[in-house]
């Protein structure tokens, strides 16, 4: 399998990274089987977070005996030193290891600088041998630039897929210029991309980008394992990508979840992109009674704009909710036909 150097960490990793967020939705037995299959196939970079419920524990149970053969990356969303140490110690215990290859600030509300207590805690953890490298994850492009320019971070984790625009491409280039490893989260567009081959081929063009594919099914893992350095962007795949970009446009919800929880209990991540779900995936499962009730909750929106304040993409979420609800009702009634 193709390998790459992860920025100034100098870690040589398989270019298929494993994103462990989705395995929190699987039971322990299934998760262990998926993780061991990934390891046996040569995947050696595993990204998780303290926030991902039992994901770290599953990695520890599945891969604890091969710890020296793999790279473990985790994250903490803590914004106090006390919570930082608690998260780190929990992560180490859950993953049955005494060190992490990469530890990342996880989408916190600012970019820690050298004189911040949080960054000093990171340095102390590194001095103690609890972590080897320091990274940051964010959905805010201004924070991403701050992190790169600070020279304090060895890796940046940021959303990147073939749906990304010029700003994201410039960020990838900037990371390369500063020797910062670029870890691509949401490489499948937050679940909206269906063409895994096109996604793999697109990202594989960038020598400094490590995608962490979110895996929760064996068939998903097998898809990515079937691709290699010879999987290139053909004219057919390029056409598929252009069609996806045309269908999705720019004003769509990526499902990052940072707009939630909604004060009125609305499931924004689902409701604000329902129109896309029912057109890109089988429509019928999204028309059941449970989903109808979930969509009805969008009528409770009081347009407080708390969600907009928290949206990294500055989307007009109340308007998106209205549009998606109206479209959903039209499809439900048969007024709008979906092929």
User: β-strand 12-14 against 3-5: which pairing, if any?
Assistant: antiparallel
User: β-strand 3-5 against 17-19: which pairing, if any?
Assistant: unpaired
Residue 255: closest CA among 324, 322, 323, 311: 311
Residue 290 and residue 218: Cα distance in Å, rounded? Answer: 27
pLDDT at 339: 67
Residue 99 and residue 129: Cα distance in Å, rounded? Answer: 6
CATH code matching the domain that covers 3-234, chosen among 3.20.20.100, 3.30.1300.10, 3.40.50.300, 3.40.50.620? 3.20.20.100
pLDDT in tens, 204-258: 999 999 999 999 999 999 999 999 888 999 999 999 999 988 888 777 888 888 8
Residue 222 and residue 205: Cα distance in Å, rounded? Answer: 21
End-to-end CA distance of the chain, in Å?
39
Residue 318 and residue 300: Cα distance in Å, rounded? Answer: 10
Strand residue runs (E) in 155-228: 155-159, 181-185, 209-214
pLDDT at 246: 87
Handedness of CA 157, 158, 163, 166 (dihedral sign): negative
Residue 332 and residue 24: Cα distance in Å, rounded? Answer: 32
Main-chain phi, psi angles of 3, to 5 degrees: -125, 165
Domain extents for the chain?
3-234, 268-333
pLDDT in tens, 71-106: 999 999 999 999 999 999 999 999 999 999 999 999
Helix-helix angle 28-40:218-225, to 10 degrees: 10
Handedness of CA 33, 37, 38, 44 (dihedral sign): positive
- DSSP label at 250? S
pTM higher than 0.85 for the full model?
yes
3-class secondary structure, 197: helix
DSSP string over 159-209: E-STT--HHHHHHHHHHHHTT-EEEEE-TTGGGT---HHHHHHHHTT-TTE
Low pLDDT (below 50) residues in the chain: none
């Amino acid at each position: 399998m193709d390998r790459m150097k992860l920025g100034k960490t100098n870690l040589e990793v398989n270019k298929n990274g494993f994103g462990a967020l989705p395995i929190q939705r699987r039971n322990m037995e299934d998760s262990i089987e998926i993780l061991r299959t990934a390891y046996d196939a040569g995947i050696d970079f595993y990204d998780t977070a303290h926030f991902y419920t039992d994901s770290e524990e599953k990695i520890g149970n599945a891969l604890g005996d091969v710890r020296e053969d793999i790279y473990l990356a985790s994250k903490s969303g803590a914004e106090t030193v006390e919570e930082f140490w608690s998260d780190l110690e929990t992560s180490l215990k859950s993953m049955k290891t005494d060190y992490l290859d990469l530890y990342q600030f996880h989408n916190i509300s600012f970019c820690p600088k050298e004189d911040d207590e949080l960054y000093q805690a990171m340095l102390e953890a590194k001095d103690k041998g609890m972590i080897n490298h320091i990274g940051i994850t964010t959905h805010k492009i201004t924070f991403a630039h701050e992190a790169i320019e600070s020279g304090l971070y060895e890796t940046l984790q940021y959303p990147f897929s073939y749906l990304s625009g010029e700003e994201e491409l410039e960020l990838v280039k900037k990371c390369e210029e500063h020797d910062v490893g670029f870890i691509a989260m949401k490489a499948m567009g937050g679940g909206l991309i269906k063409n895994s081959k096109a996604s793999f081929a697109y990202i594989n063009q960038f020598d400094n980008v490590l995608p962490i594919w979110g895996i929760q099914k064996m068939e998903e893992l097998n898809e990515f394992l079937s691709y290699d350095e010879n999987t290139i962007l053909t004219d057919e795949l390029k056409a598929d990508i252009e069609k996806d970009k045309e269908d999705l446009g720019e004003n769509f919800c990526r499902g990052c979840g940072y707009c939630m929880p909604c004060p009125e209990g609305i499931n924004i991540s689902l409701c604000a992109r329902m129109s896309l779900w029912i057109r890109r995936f089988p429509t019928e499962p999204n028309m059941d009674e449970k989903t109808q009730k979930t969509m009805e909750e969008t009528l409770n929106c009081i347009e407080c704009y708390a969600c907009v304040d928290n949206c990294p993409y500055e989307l007009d979420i109340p308007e998106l909710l209205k549009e998606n609800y109206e479209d959903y009702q039209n499809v439900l009634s048969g007024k709008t036909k979906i092929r």
